[in-house]
């Protein structure tokens, strides 16, 4: 029994020793692990802090260099812009020279304007003097009846004056004012257009025939039936020889020309005897009544004159001498009974 108790006591002591030893060993290992973890964290944190510090230093250095560059660029630009402005934009010497030239030019322009103003003023004065002189001459011609005669002295020729009045001398130099004759209108001026034109239809035509209402329009390029009927039953229009009177003003105006051309006939054919004919500036114009092939033709029968373009020697076209006739204005606008354009 004592042996068992001693063995139990030794067993408990051995267990306590092993427990203490194992605890010391585990605590020592834990201390080692904690120390190693602290060392690793220290190294890692130091590396991160150094890396971050290096980045901060590089950023600060870049900012410093950028500020220095901007400052130097501003200084260079300021120096260059000042030089450029002083030399090319606001050059003091060039501006002074320009202002001197402007002042000289202004003086010249002012002098020329003054001369021009004086010239205009003199012209106005001359115009006024001419106008007054003209008015004075007109008054002298108008009051020419106040001129002195050998028997009666005039108003401006007083016997108490040593010399005659200037108006008296002007009256002696001027001619009396004559009144214009009033132009009397010829009673035959409007006779050509006052002739009856027979615009009313004949007595046997009372009204135009009425077309059937159900009549269809024929196909093709045909005129309207109402227009054809209107043209067919239109009133009679007299010819030129019927409408023109022998005693009208155009006929009377043509008689002296015909007589003169009959007395002085002109040959229409050109005669070129000299080489200097083309230097003559006066163009020959053939006569109106002598341009026929076999002499003078009756007026208004067929045509006014034959046309020979090869014989034309005038640059201008034929110009009418008398007023136009209303009948000729309808040429090419009316139709005959067969529908053909006249």
247 located within any domain: yes
Q: How deeply is 140 buried, as exposed, middle or buried, from its count of CB atoms within 10 A (0-12, 13-18, 19+)?
A: buried
Q: What is the mean pLDDT of the chain?
A: 75
Are both 194 and 229 inside the same structural domain? yes
Domain stops at, among 46, 66, 90 = 90
Are both 35 and 74 inside the same structural domain? yes
Are both 192 and 337 inside the same structural domain? yes
138 located within any domain: no
What is d(CA 52, CA 69) in angstroms, rounded to the nearest whole number? 25
The 10s digit of each residue's pLDDT in 299-310 is 444 445 556 666
Are both 4 and 32 inside the same structural domain? yes
Of 198, 184, 183, the C-alpha closest to 237 is 198
The 10s digit of each residue's pLDDT in 170-218 is 888 888 877 665 555 554 444 444 444 444 444 445 566 666 666 676 6
117 located within any domain: no
59 located within any domain: yes
The 10s digit of each residue's pLDDT in 60-119 is 999 999 999 999 999 999 999 999 988 888 888 888 898 999 999 999 999 999 999 999
Q: What is the pTM of this model?
A: 0.28
* More reliable by pLDDT, 143 or 209: 143
Residue 122, strand partner residues: none
Are both 39 and 81 inside the same structural domain? yes
Are both 238 and 313 inside the same structural domain? yes
Return the exposure string of 106-123: e unless at least 16 CB atoms fall within 10 Å of the residue's CB, then b. eeeeeeeeeeeeeeeeee
Residue 341, strand partner residues: 335
Domains of the chain: total: 3
What is d(CA 15, CA 181) in angstroms, rounded to the nearest whole number? 174
Are both 317 and 201 inside the same structural domain? yes
Contact predicate 337/232, CB 8 Å: yes
293 located within any domain: no
Are both 191 and 323 inside the same structural domain? yes
* More reliable by pLDDT, 43 or 284: 43
Tracing tokens 């003559």 back to the chain, one arrives at 280
In sign, the C-alpha dihedral spanning 195, 201, 204, 206 is negative
Are both 252 and 330 inside the same structural domain? yes
Full domain range(s) for residue 35? 1-90
Tokens of 134: 């003209």
178 located within any domain: no
The 10s digit of each residue's pLDDT in 120-139 is 999 999 999 999 988 988 88
Neighbouring residues of 146: CB distance < 8 A, sequence distance ≥ 6: 154, 155, 156, 171
Are both 26 and 49 inside the same structural domain? yes
Are both 236 and 168 inside the same structural domain? no
Contacts 24+ apart (CB under 8 A), 225-231: 228/339, 231/334, 231/335, 231/339
Are both 47 and 82 inside the same structural domain? yes
326 located within any domain: yes
Domain stops at, among 90, 109, 128 = 90
196 located within any domain: yes
Q: How deeply is 266 buried, as exposed, middle or buried, from its count of CB atoms within 10 A (0-12, 13-18, 19+)?
A: exposed
* More reliable by pLDDT, 50 or 90: 50
Contact predicate 250/323, CB 8 Å: yes
């Amino acid at each position: 029994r004592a042996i068992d108790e001693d063995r139990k006591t030794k067993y408990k002591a051995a267990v306590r020793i092993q427990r203490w030893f194992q605890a010391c060993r585990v605590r020592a290992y834990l201390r080692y692990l904690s120390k190693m973890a602290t060392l690793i964290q220290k190294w890692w944190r130091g590396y991160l802090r150094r890396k971050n510090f290096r980045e901060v230093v590089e950023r600060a250095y870049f900012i410093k260099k950028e500020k220095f560059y901007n400052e130097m660029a501003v200084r260079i630009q300021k120096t260059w812009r000042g030089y450029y402005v002083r030399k090319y934009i606001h050059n003091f010497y060039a501006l002074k020279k320009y202002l001197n030239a402007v002042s000289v030019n202004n003086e010249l322009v002012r002098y020329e304007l003054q001369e021009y103003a004086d010239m205009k003023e003199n012209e106005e004065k001359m115009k006024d003097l001419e106008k007054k002189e003209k008015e004075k001459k007109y008054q002298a011609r108008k009051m020419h009846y106040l001129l002195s005669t050998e028997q009666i002295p005039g108003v401006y020729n007083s016997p108490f004056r040593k010399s005659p009045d200037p108006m008296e001398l002007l009256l002696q130099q001027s001619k009396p004012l004559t009144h214009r004759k009033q132009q009397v209108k010829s009673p035959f001026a409007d006779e050509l257009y006052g002739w009856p034109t027979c615009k009313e239809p004949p007595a046997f035509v009372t009204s135009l025939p009425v077309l059937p209402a159900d009549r269809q329009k024929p196909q093709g390029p045909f005129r309207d039936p109402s227009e054809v009927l209107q043209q067919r039953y239109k009133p009679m229009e007299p010819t030129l020889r019927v409408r023109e009177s022998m005693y009208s003003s155009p006929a009377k105006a043509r008689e002296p020309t015909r007589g003169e051309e009959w007395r002085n006939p002109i040959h229409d054919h050109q005669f070129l005897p000299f080489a200097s004919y083309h230097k003559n500036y006066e163009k020959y114009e053939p006569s109106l009544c002598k341009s026929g092939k076999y002499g003078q033709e009756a007026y208004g029968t067929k045509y006014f004159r034959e046309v020979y373009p090869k014989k034309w020697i005038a640059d201008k076209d034929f110009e009418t001498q008398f007023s136009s006739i209303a009948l000729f204005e309808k040429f090419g606008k009316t139709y005959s009974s067969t529908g053909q354009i006249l």
